[in-house]
Amino acid sequence: MSATDASENRLPASNKLAVAVVVVAGCLVAIIASGPRSAMGIFLQPMSDMHGWGREVFAFAIALQNLLWGFGQPIAGMLADKFGTARVLIAGSAVYIAGLVLMAHSGTPLELQLTAGLIVGFGISGSAFFLVLAAFARLLPDHWRGTAFGLGTAAGSAGQFLYAPIGQAILNAADFSMALYVMAAALLVVPLLTFFLRGKPATTPDLAGFDQTIRQAMAEAFGHPSYRWLVAGFFVCGFHVAFITVHLPAYIHDVCGNADWGTWAISLIGLFNIIGAMSSGILSGRMPKRWLLSSIYFLRTLAIVAFIAFPVTLTSILVFSAAMGLLWLSTVPPTSGLVAMMFGTRYMATLFGFVFISHQIGSFLGIWLGGVIYDKTGSYDMIWWVGIALGLFAGLAHLPIREVPVERPSLLRARA
């Protein structure tokens, strides 16, 4: 084990069974925790129609959810870096459950913002698959890291693939309250799975034998140009993913009159992202990560242009969903890999948490502006073009990133 990745908890590479158990448990947590938040789009129309809300009301609540998830992620990361991932996952899933149950009883915009927005948002931050990736970085052997990041990200999309059609089936058979109750009940399994993700954070020094405080690690990261480019690029990922997750079902219903097509589009995105995320995890270990990220954003932009340039049919929906699925969260393995490469794994949960704030600010704007623009213009056309412009920016923003461990001359002098 290198000094860069020193960890008190890392499993020996020879213990393949223990490695497999950690990966399976982490992936199951990612599936269960990612499912409800990725299926939120199926509740937009039924809840809005029942309460007589415009789409902006529901969109703002879910936008708030994504924003608070983002701001809660570094806090959850700091707690995980201090006390271990398992404890944070248990607490986060409890808050998540409470938020979903209370969301089912929300009858006013304010109640929806407090439950679906505030409580669910903070609950997700303490149970999101990004914490699972941090646990993988700490617990697994070095050569497993890229593959495990890909598997963990793919598992989050498997949750999207499973929960969207299941939630829609419950909506068709009962109502949105029952769908939310079922999703909350599934989260009760998460505390049991965290048993296999236990382990205190490393106290051994990271990167060239040096130890740091969280404050020093944050100052170092934000002073590094490559980290700032990574933060800026991940904003665009959030904008694309969140807007499409929440508004694509309604967009398809508007132009085709079929609610089920929108649900299956979200599910198909999740299915193909299993392939995309796993492929990205493998490729991020075999090619420059900045090139991989730039390619993903340019291809996303091309897919959006093609989707809105031609009439929306079942065929175009299937092709677009498959293409976006391959490019969906395939950004996560190279992004998290760059954080670990540049700054080590000691404070990875914290540093990736701050990258993720940018992602969630983008998510907030994508969801909220989608609702605002639709209510004012009766169309999503303008917001699609905003996404196209941002995709071009993100494709260019990753090219200047330097894929080398950070230099620490001040610490070298202090050691001398």
Domains of the chain from N-terminus onward: 12-403 (1.20.1250.20)
pLDDT tens digits, 325-363: 999 888 988 998 898 888 887 787 788 888 988 998 998
Which of 400, 388, 213, 231 has its CA nearest to residue 307?
388
pLDDT tens digits, 387-414: 999 999 999 999 999 888 887 655 555 5
Q: Does the structure show a pLDDT above 90 at 43? A: no
The mean pLDDT value of the chain amounts to 84
pTM of the shown model: 0.76
pLDDT tens digits, 158-177: 887 788 788 888 988 888 89
* Separation CA 80–CA 133 (nearest Å): 12
Mean pLDDT of 14-28: 81
Mean pLDDT of 150-160: 79
pLDDT band per the 50, 70, 90 thresholds, residue 3: very low
Contact of 150 with 332, CB cutoff 8 Å: no
